[in-house]
Amino acid sequence: MDMSKQELNERVKPIMSPTKREWTNIDKTIACLLFFLHALCIFAPFNFTWNAFWVALILYSITGLFGITISYHRNLSHKSFQLPKWLEYLFAYCGAHALQGDPMDWVSTHRCHHQFVDTDKDPHDRNQGFWFSHINWAFDSYHLTKKCVRIVMLYHVIFMVNSVCHKWGKKQWSTTDLSRNNWWVSLLSFGEGWHNNHHAFEYSAKYGLEWWQLDFGWYVIMFLKAIGVATDVKLPTQCHKQRMKL
């Protein structure tokens, strides 16, 4: 999954404004899929049952917590800890069911975000506007490739980390980007909303660095470590924290 700096530069050449570029067939397909999923959610209140609610909540947790937060993000993108291959593949399989792309594509796009954060080479550059960083970037295949209710909710929760957490919240550490810690995004995203913490210490498996910062992804990793499954779990050192203080 590792890419050279030259390959990353080729993958993320500056893009055209989303309103002026040509939409490819891939862009149209993704847009139609998301529109269809959102349209289906309109009918959800008329078909509500508690059984369906609990099934959605369980699937949201499996795909969002184990799939995206623990696997795609902390394990595969940042190598914050190691897992046995069978468990790494199982969690990545859960992530694939979030319908946010395959692991390699998700990881490479996210690594580009960290390398070029809040610049015109950032795949979801905040400077191009809130809605671009939130969802419009997903419709730009030139940018990305040259480089039903729980699915919709998880889409927007993960997208809010890219958009809301680069606009609203508290900046706790001296980073050179626009990342912020946002408590309510963190509640919805299993701890991903402590985004300034994450940008300050990308390698850390723990994002909620204060005792009151809830981080369900970290709680699962602690459990996996306690039973001897997760190894080489990385955390920020006190020396690094001192250097990054505002």
Q: Of 104-118, 189-203, 208-222, where does mean pLDDT reach its minimum? A: 104-118
Q: Of 17-31, 79-93, 200-214, where does mean pLDDT reach its minimum? A: 17-31
User: In which band, very low, low, confident or very high, does the pLDDT at 121 lie, cut at 50, 70 and 90?
Assistant: confident
∠ CA 80-105-213 to the nearest 5 degrees?
35
The count of other CB atoms within 10 Å of the CB of residue 56 is: 16
Structure tokens at 234: 């990385």
Task: Read off the pTM.
Answer: 0.78
Whether residue 162 is predicted with pLDDT greater than 80 in this model: the reply is: yes
Whether residue 49 is predicted with pLDDT greater than 50 in this model: the reply is: yes
**pLDDT value for 16:** 38
Cβ-count burial of 101 within 10 angstroms (0-12 exposed, 13-18 middle, 19+ buried)? Answer: middle
* Spatial separation of the C-alpha atoms in residues 195 and 162, rounded to whole Å: 9
- DSSP letter at 216 equals H
User: In the block, which residue shows the tokens 């508290």?
Assistant: 170
Residue 35, C-beta contacts closer than 8 angstroms, at least 6 positions apart: none
| Nearest CA among 234, 169, 231, 226 for reference residue 196 | 169
DSSP for 157-187, written as a single string: HHHHHHHGGGTSSB--B--SS---B-HHHHH
* Spatial separation of the C-alpha atoms in residues 207 and 234, rounded to whole Å: 11
**pLDDT value for 13:** 45
* Spatial separation of the C-alpha atoms in residues 193 and 165, rounded to whole Å: 7
